[in-house]
Amino acid sequence: MFAPLYLSNTCKTTCTYCGFAYKNDIKRKTLTLDEAVAEGRILHQRGFRRLLLLTGEDYVATPIAYLADACRALAGMFPSLKLEVYPLGESDYEGLRDAGATGIVCYQETYDRRRYREVHLRGMKRKYDYRLDSLDRAARAGILELSTGALLGLSNPRTDTFFAGMHAHSLPQTHPRARLSISLPRLRPAAGFEDVPLLPDPVYVQMFLATRLFLPRAGLILSTREPHAMRMHLASLCITTMSAGVSVAPGGYSGADTTEQFSLGDHSTTAEVAESLSAHGLHASF
Ligand code: SF4
């Protein structure tokens, strides 16, 4: 079990499917370090020891020095400390590694280059190849917990699942000590993006099972985008890592009134999720 901690929802990029997109008129907030630590303490008190720090793509509001400071401030509480931020250069990843980061999450969203350009309208995220190579740069910098994935619904889900699997399969060829995880979130409604074509449940489950068969040892991550029943169903089949009782807005654990990145599918508390896992014969480890 892990918890996401949103450091900021400011973003200079416009992805058509995301509530934090630059074009959206939403309540923006970037946590101070003290606020980030306060959020971390709440999660630590709930038992979490695996944390995922997230930002949008804003090199001014959340520069690399800020990310490193946040890692240093939180690493003592969270032995597993991953970042899902904008793609960085190898030396910047080295700096984050030295500050306590243990993992990098960078989803390609879609491996369909034409569709990629259609849904990423402005900002650094338009650079498909720079994003694609980010996990390789992180591994060269010595960060070896790597997560990739595709946002299913943007393009052909089977093609995107195939290439996400190949992406995860390829990295240990050059970085044998790398530990790979894959996430296959489905598109969810978000601010300015209400009409979501939902991938049918049987196809969604099939994509996870195909990935599990192809990569028996990879971590499979499932977020709170999915409803509780689907999460428990997939947990009993193949999922290894999931979040629970989360906020997807900066300051959300402390009650700040800011905009979420997407609407949650599972509003269960951490204890309720752990209890449901137990009912499925699974042990929730924090
Ligand atoms: S997905 Fe990331 S880069 Fe794109 S708009 Fe949202 S926060 Fe910004």
Q: What is the pLDDT of residues 15-67, one digit of tens each?
A: 998 889 998 888 899 999 999 999 999 999 999 999 999 999 999 999 999 99
Mean per-residue pLDDT over the chain, rounded: 94
For 44-57, write each residue's pLDDT tens digit. 999 999 999 999 99
Exposed/middle/buried for residue 88 (C-beta within 10 Å: 0-12, 13-18, 19+): buried
Helix (H, G, I), strand (E, B) or coil at 150: strand
For 208-227, write each residue's pLDDT tens digit. 999 999 999 999 999 898 99
Distances (CA, A) of 196 to 164, 191, 192, 225, 245: 22, 12, 11, 13, 24
* pTM given for the model: 0.94
Per-residue confidence band for 100, with pLDDT thresholds at 50, 70 and 90: very high
Written as six digits, the tokens of 46 are 């709930």
Distance 193 CA to ligand 1 centre (A): 13
- Which of 48-62, 85-99, 235-249 is predicted least confidently? 235-249
User: What is the DSSP annotation of 41-93?
Assistant: HHHHHTT--EEEEE--S-TTTS-HHHHHHHHHHHTTT-SEEEEE-S---HHHH
Mean pLDDT of 138-152: 97
Distance 282 CA to ligand 1 centre (A): 33
SS3 content of the chain, % helix, strand, coil (to 5): 40, 15, 45
Q: Which CATH number fits domain 3-279: 1.10.3720.10, 3.30.1240.10, 3.40.50.970, 3.20.20.70?
A: 3.20.20.70
Q: Which residues 6+ apart lie within 8 Å of 162 measured at CB?
A: none
Among the listed residues 133, 38, 123, 124, the one whose alpha carbon sits nearest the alpha carbon of residue 77: 38
Q: Flag whether pLDDT at 148 surpasses 90.
A: yes
For 71-86, write each residue's pLDDT tens digit. 999 999 999 999 999 9
| DSSP 8-state class, residue 245 | S
Mean pLDDT of 117-131: 94
Mean pLDDT of 229-244: 95
Number of C-alpha atoms within 13 angstroms, CB side, residue 48?
Answer: 28
Per-residue confidence band for 259, with pLDDT thresholds at 50, 70 and 90: confident
Q: Flag whether pLDDT at 190 surpasses 80.
A: no
Mutating to test ligand 1, I would choose from 12, 18, 53 the residue with most ligand atoms within 8 A of its C-beta, which is 18
State the CB neighbour count (10 A cutoff) for residue 59. 13
State what percent of residues in the chain have pLDDT above 90: 81
Q: Flag whether pLDDT at 246 surpasses 90.
A: no
Report which protein residue has its CA nearest ligand 1's atom 2.
56
Distances (CA, A) of 282 to 1, 222, 226, 230, 270: 12, 15, 18, 15, 14
CA distance 124 to 13: 7
Q: Flag whether pLDDT at 101 surpasses 90.
A: yes
Mean pLDDT of 122-141: 96
Mutating to test ligand 1, I would choose from 7, 12, 17, 20 the residue with most ligand atoms within 8 A of its C-beta, which is 20
Among the listed residues 150, 145, 140, 75, the one whose alpha carbon sits nearest the alpha carbon of residue 116: 150
Distance 279 CA to ligand 1 centre (A): 36
